[in-house]
Chains A and B, each alone.
Chain A
Amino acid sequence: MIREHQLNKIILSIFLIIPLWAFVTDEPFTITLMTRATVFALAAVGLNIALGLGGLVSLGHAVFFGIGGYSMGILACHAQTYTPLMEWPMLVSGSKSMPLIWINAVIMSALAALLIGILSLRTSGVYFIMITLAFGQMFFFFSISWSAYGGEDGLSIYIRNEFPGLNTLVPIQYYALCLALLCTVLWINSRLINSPFGLALNAARQVPERVETVGLNPMRLKLAAFIISGAVTGLAGALFADLNRFVSPTMFSWQTSGEIMVFVIIGGVGRLFGPVVGALMFVALEHWLGGLSDFWHIYLGILLLGIVLFGRGGLIGMICGEARQHE
């Protein structure tokens, strides 16, 4: 049986080889598809921190994805119309700088995760799912009624934002940027999983009352995980908005939350590269099966059903075995 870290290397090489092949053969659409998979993977890596490590089944992660998207949309919109974002108590203007937009997206998503987490982590199980879903719907309907930023029609950004030293309009360059961010977050995540914090969080997921007897506060551990998770998903939202140069309330919808969760489940909950495999599989199915039939979601449903029933560790679990490997 192939070891998980070997499989991870193979997955990573797919994310390098396909876009390079597409670049050489001049297939920009394939690069865009891979960028879409990379951004979805990043969003799912964020959810996997809460779901896989902390055992928090959040059906409201679209909130953070949407906040990231609107962070980009609002800042870029004000920059392209040369109107200030606010004039009081100080003058704040929009921005076309990706690093600034990312920082803003991460901070705003983390703050939202802090507030949502404080309230929703008082509950567990089905109540936690419902309360996170309720927050998602709250943000969704708010964005629909937010006419200043497009309301139901969303917000278009004419030119992709800028990153120092790169031409982000060139698909391969924007893809490289997204992949670099995904790899950085995966590296941080791998460190996090094996850190005392990650181990304590894992223990809190298993037996919360016993974690307390070793001096750890499970509520605080889960809140920290939820905040980190929200921040990562928020970053993905900003990248997704920049990829499409468009943000809309759909980013906040419960379907988006569901899709992010599907990526994690397909790849393997709690597996480092599980969300990456899940997102890649989703984009591939969406592209190939979507070309064959408008009802391609049926096939996705069958795949999901098969994995949930017969492969509890997701695709990674089916290849490497169910248990997480300790080395």
Chain B
Amino acid sequence: MSLLQLSEVSTSYGASQALFGVNLDIAQGQVAALMGRNGMGKSTTVKCICRMLPSSGQIVFDGQDITHLPSHLAARLGIGLVPEGRRCFKDLSVYENLVAAQQSGLWNFAKVVDLFPRLGERKSQLAASLSGGEQQMLSIGRALMTNPRLLILDEATEGLAPLIRQEIWSVISKLKEDTGLSILVIDKSLKELRSVCDKAVVLERGRTVWGGQMKDLNQDIAEKYLGV
């Protein structure tokens, strides 16, 4: 059963149209990759899903039409976002960042620390003083504290050291295996995406140009639309 379904979603920034009827379908417990080169509409699609941008078409989450829902209500329904550029609350400590976002459910501070022990060690430290990798962990932890049913990771490994990237990917795998959480990943590392994701959707100039099982994403498509 579909947890998230985007049908013909379009949006624009002022006079400039950014999406032209994007289609996307994520089932319960599925990990999907949203792929495409820079500026093709991946982050814009995420903003539409999280209701940070008004859009036309239809966005259905867990059977409910959320196309015109305010952003905070979409989040309350269970859409958790790890935004591009981390965007932690810099004047708050690690613990405060997590508590500020907490909604009732499975995830709490102790569980997030189990997933990222380093956050436990930095509990009282201001978010602004963390390294890029630690801020990313905090950003993922903060999204988990909202107890989402769909976790969206927008360029979660961008600009991180290889070891930290590996840690983030292993956490995504762990979340997939242990919790059955639906995850939408936006990333440029095709190798890692292949190992974690069940399906993929490729965007080109704001349009869905390919969608299917990850194993069916062949080299021709990767070369044509992803430039790899």
Contact = CB atoms under 8 A, between A and B. Distances in A.
B31 interface: no
B99 A214 contact: no
A150 to B, nearest CB: 46
Contacts of A216: 72, 75, 100-101
A205 to B, nearest CB: 8
A26 interface: no
B138 to A, nearest CB: 12
A225 to B, nearest CB: 14
Nearest to A220: B72
Given A196-B99, A199-B100, A213 B91 contact: no
A210 B83 contact: yes
Contacts of B83: 210, 213
Q: Which of A212, A214, A324, A326: most chain B Cβ within 10 A?
A: A214
A66 B166 CA distance: 60
A199 B75 contact: no
Given A214-B142, A326-B126, A202 B100 contact: yes
Contact of B103 (A203, A215, A217, A218): A215
B99 A213 contact: no
Nearest to B125: A326
B90 to A, nearest CB: 7
Interface residues of B, number: 31
A323 interface: yes
A199 B90 contact: no
A210 B103 CA distance: 15
B164 interface: no
A210 B87 contact: yes
Contacts of B75: 212-216
A153 interface: no
Given A202-B92, A206-B91, A214 B70 contact: no
A326 B72 contact: no
A215 B89 contact: no
A327 interface: yes
B174 interface: no
Interface string B26-70: 000000000000000000000000101000000000000000001
Nearest to A196: B99
A206 B103 contact: no
**Residues of A in contact with B, size category:** 20 to 34
B146 A215 contact: yes
Nearest to A210: B87
B76 interface: yes
B71 interface: yes
Contacts of B90: 206
B43 to A, nearest CB: 13
Given A196-B102, A199-B100, A214 B52 contact: no
A213 B71 contact: yes
Given A207-B87, A212-B52, A213-B75, A199 B124 contact: no
B103 to A, nearest CB: 6
A214 B100 contact: yes
A200 interface: yes
A268 to B, nearest CB: 14
Interface in B81-115: 81, 83, 87, 89-93, 96-97, 99-103
Interchain residue pairs A-B with the least CB separation, the first 9: A215-B75, A199-B100, A212-B71, A214-B101, A203-B89, A326-B93, A215-B76, A212-B72, A213-B81
Interface of A: 194, 196, 199-200, 202-203, 206-207, 209-218, 323-324, 326-327
30 contacts: A196-B99, A199-B96, A199-B99, A200-B100, A202-B89, A202-B92, A202-B100, A206-B92, A207-B87, A209-B52, A209-B71, A210-B89, A212-B70, A212-B72, A213-B50, A213-B75, A213-B81, A214-B100, A214-B101, A215-B72, A215-B73, A215-B101, A216-B72, A216-B101, A218-B72, A323-B126, A326-B93, A326-B96, A326-B126, A327-B124
Interface of B: 50, 52, 70-73, 75-76, 80-81, 83, 87, 89-93, 96-97, 99-103, 124-126, 142-143, 145-146
